[in-house]
Amino acid sequence: MATTTAAYGTWPSPVDAGLTAAHDGRPDHLGAVGDELWWTEPRPTEGGRRALVRRRADGTEESVLPAPWNVRSRVLEYGGLPWAAADRPVGGPLVVFCHLPDQRLYVHEPDAAPGGAPRPLTPLSPVGEGLRWADPVIHQDRGEVWCVLEEYTGPAPADVRRVLVAVPLDGSAAEDREAVRELSDERHRFVTGPRLSPDGRRAAWIAWDHPRMPWDGTEVLLAEVGPDGTFRDARTVAGGTAESIPQVGWDTAGRLLLVSDRTGWWNLYRADIGTDGGLGRQTALCPRAEEFGGALWRTGLTWFTPLENGLIAVVHGKGTTALGILDPERGTLADAAGPWTDWAPTLTAHGTRVVGVAAGPRTSYEIVELDTRTGRARVVGARHADAVDPAHYTAPRLRTFPGPGGREIHAHVHPPHHPGFTGPEGELPPYVIRAHGGPTGHAPLVLDLEVTYFTSRGIGVAVVDYGGSTGYGREYRERLREQWGVVDVEDCAAVATALAAEGTADPARLAVRGGSAGGFTTAASLATTDVYACGTIVYPVLDLRAWATGETHDFESRYVDGLVGPLDEMPARYKERSPIEHVDRITVPFLLLQGLADVICPPAQAERFLARAAGRGVPHAYLAFEGEGHGFREADTMVRALEAELSLYAKTFGVDRDDVPELEYRT
């Protein structure tokens, strides 16, 4: 195919913002229901709802619930497993789910009563942010659903308690909070759903308290289950303040399985239950300098699931991840073959088959089934379909860059690419440096049409797993301890300057972009470095003191204790690191994008930031979106935001484009 020479950033592209928005998000919360597979998936063009989808045994897919039913929990604000289903020999499956707008649990029988409306199981709350539910498990023999209840007791973000509860399936609690039975007297600020042993005698769950985040330290609690279904003699059997355990479960023999980073890496362990009810000998099943777990941002995440034959399916890796089948007796691990480089922490098993959600550099997230008898992996649901000619996809490269003090920085670089265009000889392309959210998170190496939107137009993208990211062991995560606003900023700048120094990127046309914690890194980068020509700041943290004193939700309200340090001990550091205190240092154009319903990074911070930027002569634009929270979900919002970002880069980089509306700048 003949190519045309044209300036970087000017290339035409079939990847428009509408196409990108329509393919945003991934399937999640996977489960086996009899011979069927069920999961949730995003519907940006349906108001951003998450649909519950079932794949029948014949391979057909259909929504379990019509619009506007929205299967998503707000527990911890980031959510958690929002549904459970039980297969019944008569009447078909019984499903319990959390509906986003009112956060009530509902029960539905899609086959027994086709077209019938779901029935509420839990009441509305008269107080604060409501009653929220997550991580449900149906116990038909008891006529109950066991789950996590997040209950607000007042109007403030900290007026909340989280407990393990049993909700009656007969609907008797639909208008009566007192009919919801609490399972344990053990009290912790945060809990995950209980996991029942195969014989039904014991329950295990994970808990932690402020100021820890779950990747800092968690405890495993174990209790006896009495005849009346209450938990007795709950005690801590594993974990601690400096040991993170993000998942716990049971093997078929009734031994406890848990993931722990006690060696510096999240590895899988098995423990016998002693005669005293505590843990006996603990065995590392596959000790490696790899991660077999991750950051517990939501309840109900699964990095491992046991099979009936004693094998264990695991998601593992360093940087990228694979689906492996572990033989715990021999310690051998065999990975599924295929193009996938990221497996989401959601696994389910039925018989000898394991199913997960995976994506690769040229495929979006899809439902993949591994037959452990044959070793064959195949796509069985939410199959990737190329929305454009895949010749427009770039070929990302995993890179390790040198950072300050000789530390390594991991990133993946997506060069500009178009099958019909090339840049002029001697011209270097502009690049956008992307900082992921979290900051305790990572950026997967997968096909992302939002990245392709830019690379197919001649703008390169480098996604940085700065110090503090997951996927590279605890030591790498701990680099950000009390160094937020320093290490992340330095690492992003180091990648940008390295790309410029090696002749990959134009040093005069570098941008920085990030959302949430990445928005903080972006704003801090603009205020403290001279590396970038502009920046896109998306629903950011901007005022650390306000964020630490009530201007965010409960889950992350003490996060900055570890990222910056305790506020009462080092108030000056909070001022020094907060971008809102240094708006006067920002001298390049920026775009600020904000959801007006965001309770994690509230719009008040963005508005104060803009007030300080006003009148300083620096061009900037602000787009605020009604009804959007922390993470944009509606297609119209995503289109407008993406086109605004491109407009910023085109104007700043001196690129002529007539396919996006021009930003209206303030100064």
Predicted TM-score of the model (pTM): 0.96
Q: Per-residue pLDDT averaged across 471-496, rounded?
A: 98
pLDDT at 185: 87
Percent of the chain with pLDDT over 70: 99
The pairing of strands 342-350 and 332-335 is unpaired
CB atoms within 10 A of CB 187: 12
pLDDT band at 165 (very low <50, low <70, confident <90, very high): very high
Rg (CA), the chain: 25
Q: Give domain 389-653's CATH superfamily.
A: Alpha/Beta hydrolase fold, catalytic domain (3.40.50.1820)
**pLDDT tens, position by position, 3-15:** 999 999 999 999 9
CB-CB contact of 124 with 138 (8 Å): no
What are 418's two structure tokens?
């178009």
**pLDDT tens, position by position, 598-654:** 999 999 999 999 999 999 999 999 999 999 999 999 999 999 999 999 999 999 999
Q: Per-residue pLDDT averaged across 369-397, rounded?
A: 95
DSSP state, residue 663: P
What are 379's two structure tokens?
């796509």
pLDDT band at 427 (very low <50, low <70, confident <90, very high): very high
Q: Per-residue pLDDT averaged across 579-591, rounded?
A: 97
Mean residue pLDDT of the chain comes to 95
Which ranges of 276-344 would DSSP assign to H, the alpha helix?
none
510 has which bridge partners?
431
Distances (CA, A) of 478 to 201, 390, 475, 484, 564: 38, 38, 5, 11, 12
Element (H, E) at 22: helix 17-22
Q: Per-residue pLDDT averaged across 176-197, rounded?
A: 95
pLDDT band at 52 (very low <50, low <70, confident <90, very high): very high
pLDDT band at 119 (very low <50, low <70, confident <90, very high): very high
pLDDT at 154: 87
In this structure, which amino acid lies at residue 54? R
**pLDDT tens, position by position, 226-276:** 998 999 999 999 999 999 999 999 999 999 999 999 999 999 999 999 877
Q: Which residue, among 186, 248, 185, has the nearest Cα to 218 in the 3D structure?
A: 248
**pLDDT tens, position by position, 469-481:** 999 999 999 999 9
Percent of the chain with pLDDT over 90: 93
pLDDT at 376: 95
**pLDDT tens, position by position, 90-114:** 889 999 999 999 999 999 999 987 6
Domain ranges of the chain: 302-385, 389-653
pLDDT at 493: 98
Element (H, E) at 137: strand 131-139
In this structure, which amino acid lies at residue 243? E
For the four alpha carbons of 208, 214, 219 and 225, in that order, the dihedral sign comes to: positive
Rounded CA separation 375/314 (Å) = 14
**Between helices 487-501 and 517-528, what is the axis angle to 10°?**
70
What are 603's two structure tokens?
């719009």
Residue ranges of E strands in 336-420: 342-350, 353-360, 363-371, 376-381, 397-402, 408-414
pLDDT at 495: 98
Highest mean pLDDT among 127-136, 149-158, 433-442: 433-442
CB atoms within 10 A of CB 515: 24
Element (H, E) at 492: helix 487-501
pLDDT at 2: 80
For the four alpha carbons of 196, 202, 203 and 206, in that order, the dihedral sign comes to: negative
Q: Which residue, among 189, 238, 184, has the nearest Cα to 212 in the 3D structure?
A: 189
Q: Per-residue pLDDT averaged across 537-549, rounded?
A: 97
Question: DSSP letter string over 591-620?
Answer: EEEEETT-SSS-HHHHHHHHHHHTTSS--E
- How long is the chain? 667
Q: Per-residue pLDDT averaged across 71-82, rounded?
A: 96
**pLDDT tens, position by position, 307-359:** 999 999 999 999 999 999 999 999 999 999 999 999 999 999 988 999 999 99
43 has which bridge partners?
49
The pairing of strands 620-625 and 590-595 is parallel
For the four alpha carbons of 404, 405, 410 and 416, in that order, the dihedral sign comes to: positive
219 has which bridge partners?
207, 239
pLDDT at 128: 66
pLDDT band at 1 (very low <50, low <70, confident <90, very high): low
